[in-house]
């Protein structure tokens, strides 16, 4: 296993342009494949999650041309559903944004497909999505544990029926049904049961669908109605915004390490909910300046602890758990049960690693509370093949020397050169 020893950091300052958004890249690629016409996608993220989507689309007969640096892609739309003449096995790594949307779209295609991935993917639920689509007449078999990938899908002609979907574990299930729904070419109503988690990701979905010509009637996130006449049309060209979750590490560095750190690529014009991470830093006492497409953060004295429901920014909220090491008092992050079903059990993993640094941590079913120690200890941080654990613990190097990140290469899921970029704004 590779390890990365981080030097003790005393200052963060500078400008950084973050790579394209994972959530937008994979949604845009899928809709560019389904729509009529050619789409030029720019500022595409080049990371494992996007490579899995691109490889799957190629196997499904979608043709595209990628630029040498893989950040520009011209996709020839199929003008209809995905299809295959043979049983196609698609390996989707641990990319939720590939597995869930492709599963729903393939049910409405033609052919037979096996959807598989890394071992952790076999522990990440998909049952609420499959159950929701059953009334349409889908044919899906669980190849291992019921409710989890791997899956075998036999696509067939489906009939639109009103469906209801449990939104309390992952918003990606609703995203998947919404993006697949226009392929039915019939009016459909989708009712949400339970509390819808990670709501801002639905805004991203509706925004991208609209750019591809399909409007959804969103009735207060409880009910979504699509009329049957709309079809995906290419917008011609489309720009992927910078990734707001990836921005969180740099913005937090500005709050902890003096700043100013200016992050380009996301701002008030962004469709990503994770831009609201900067509001949390503001509540912790940092100075935040916003523009349409950049955010700048600097420190204004020591950070203060916060006690907040961060269900709306589940990914960036992990960065707050580490920023808590630098805040006076106990920081509590609430309503984050679904951290437990992501790349690893993130509540458990964050608690374990923060304790190694000397923090007092209280963790429960859906929350984590972090009280910093008088002096943070050096530690080797295990990363559980979770890119975000590797990235957010880089901030601990502002507190102590002796922070080692085990398996730093796991950032490849969304940000392959993260540590190089982090070193450019820190010293």
Ligand X SMILES: O=C(O)C1=C[C@@H](OP(=O)(O)O)[C@@H](O)[C@H](O)C1
Ligand Y SMILES: C=C(OP(=O)(O)O)C(=O)O
Lookup result for tokens 């591809």: 212
Query: How many CA atoms, within 13 angstroms, populate the side-chain half-sphere of residue 261?
Result: 31
Lookup result for tokens 């007449």: 137
Backbone angles phi, psi at 229, to 5 degrees: -95, -15
234 is in an annotated binding site: no
* DSSP reduced 3-state for 132: helix
Q: Which of 388, 395, 415, 425 binds ligand Y (CB under 6 A)?
A: 388
Q: Which residues are catalytic?
A: 315
- Candidates 88-96, 106-114, 349-357, 402-410; binding stretch for ligand Y (CB under 6 A): 88-96
Which strand (E) or helix (H) includes residue 220?
Answer: none
- Closer CB to ligand X, residue 165 or residue 256? 165
Q: Shortest distance, CB of residue 341 to ligand X, whole angstroms?
A: 7
Give the binding site for ligand X (CB under 6 A).
23, 96-97, 170-172, 175, 197-198, 201, 314-315, 338
- Closer CB to ligand Y, residue 342 or residue 421? 342
346 is in an annotated binding site: yes
Query: How many CA atoms, within 13 angstroms, populate the side-chain half-sphere of residue 360?
Result: 8
198's contact among ligand X, ligand Y, none, with CB below 5 to 8 A by partner kind, is ligand X
197's contact among ligand Y, ligand X, none, with CB below 5 to 8 A by partner kind, is ligand X
Q: Shortest distance, CB of residue 400 to ligand Y, whole angstroms?
A: 26
Q: Which of 96, 235, 257, 265 binds ligand Y (CB under 6 A)?
A: 96
- Closer CB to ligand Y, residue 242 or residue 378? 242
- Closer CB to ligand Y, residue 136 or residue 316? 316
DSSP 8-state symbol, 125: -
What is the rounded CA–CA span in Å between residue 346 and residue 222? 28
Pick out residues in 303-322 that bind ligand Y (CB under 6 A).
Answer: 315
Residue nearest to ligand Y (CB): 96
Query: How many CA atoms, within 13 angstroms, populate the side-chain half-sphere of residue 102?
Result: 37
The answer to whether the beta carbons of residues 342 and 316 sit under 8 Å apart is no
What torsion, rounded to 10 degrees, do the Cα atoms 397, 327, 308, 365 define? 60
388's contact among ligand Y, ligand X, none, with CB below 5 to 8 A by partner kind, is ligand Y
Q: Shortest distance, CB of residue 15 to ligand X, whole angstroms?
A: 25
- Closer CB to ligand X, residue 205 or residue 332? 205
Lookup result for tokens 């990670």: 198
95's contact among ligand Y, ligand X, none, with CB below 5 to 8 A by partner kind, is ligand Y
The residues with which 304 forms a beta bridge, in sequence order, are 328
Q: Does residue 226 belong to the site contacting ligand Y (CB under 6 A)?
A: no
67 is in an annotated binding site: no
The set of residues, in sequence order, having a beta carbon less than 8 Å from that of 313 and lying 6+ positions away, is 200, 273, 274, 276, 277, 280
Structure tokens at 266: 């996301």
Nearest to 234, CA basis, from 214, 215, 213: 213
338 is in an annotated binding site: yes
CA distance from start to end of the chain: 26
Q: Which residues are annotated as a binding site for phosphoenolpyruvate?
A: 22, 96, 124, 172, 346, 388, 413
Interface residues toward ligand Y, by CB under 6 A? 94-97, 315, 342-343, 388, 414
């Amino acid at each position: 296993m590779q390890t990365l020893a981080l030097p003790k950091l005393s200052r963060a300052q500078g400008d950084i342009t973050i790579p394209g958004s994972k959530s937008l890249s994979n949604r845009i690629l899928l809709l560019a494949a389904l729509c009529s016409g050619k789409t030029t996608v720019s500022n595409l993220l080049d990371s494992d999650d996007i490579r899995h989507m691109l490889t799957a689309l190629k196997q499904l007969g979608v043709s595209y041309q990628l630029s040498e640096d893989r950040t520009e892609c011209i996709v020839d739309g199929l003008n209809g559903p995905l299809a295959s003449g043979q049983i196609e096995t698609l390996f989707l790594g641990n990319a939720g944004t590939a597995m869930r949307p492709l599963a729903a779209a393939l049910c409405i295609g033609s052919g037979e497909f096996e959807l598989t991935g890394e071992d952790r993917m076999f522990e990440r639920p998909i049952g609420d999505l499959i159950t929701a689509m059953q009334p349409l007449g889908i044919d899906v078999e669980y190849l291992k544990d019921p409710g989890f990938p791997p899956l075998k899908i036999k696509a067939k002609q489906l009939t639109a029926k009103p469906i209801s979907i449990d939104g309390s574990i992952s918003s990606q299930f609703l995203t998947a049904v919404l993006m697949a729904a226009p392929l039915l070419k019939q009016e459909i109503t989708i009712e949400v049961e339970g509390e819808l988690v990670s709501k801002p990701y639905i805004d991203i979905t509706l925004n991208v669908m609209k750019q591809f010509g399909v409007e959804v009637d969103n009735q207060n996130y409880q009910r979504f109605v699509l009329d049957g006449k709309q079809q995906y049309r290419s917008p011609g060209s489309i720009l992927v915004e910078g990734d707001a979750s990836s921005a969180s590490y740099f913005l937090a560095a500005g709050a902890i390490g003096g700043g100013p750190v200016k992050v380009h690529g996301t701002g008030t014009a962004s469709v990503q909910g994770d831009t609201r991470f900067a509001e949390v830093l503001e509540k912790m006492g940092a100075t935040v300046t916003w523009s349409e497409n950049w955010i700048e953060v600097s420190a204004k004295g020591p950070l203060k602890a916060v006690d907040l429901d961060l269900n709306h920014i589940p990914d960036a909220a992990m960065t707050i758990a580490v920023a808590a090491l630098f805040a006076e008092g106990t920081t509590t992050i609430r309503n984050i049960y679904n951290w437990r079903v992501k790349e690893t059990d993130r509540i458990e993993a964050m608690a374990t690693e923060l304790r190694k640094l000397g923090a007092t941590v209280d963790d429960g079913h859906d929350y984590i509370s972090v009280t910093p120690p008088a002096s943070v200890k050096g530690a080797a941080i295990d990363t559980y093949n979770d890119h975000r654990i590797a990235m957010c613990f880089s901030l601990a190097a502002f507190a102590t020397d002796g922070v080692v990140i085990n398996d730093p290469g796991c950032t490849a899921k969304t940000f392959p050169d993260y540590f190089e970029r982090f070193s450019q704004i820190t010293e």
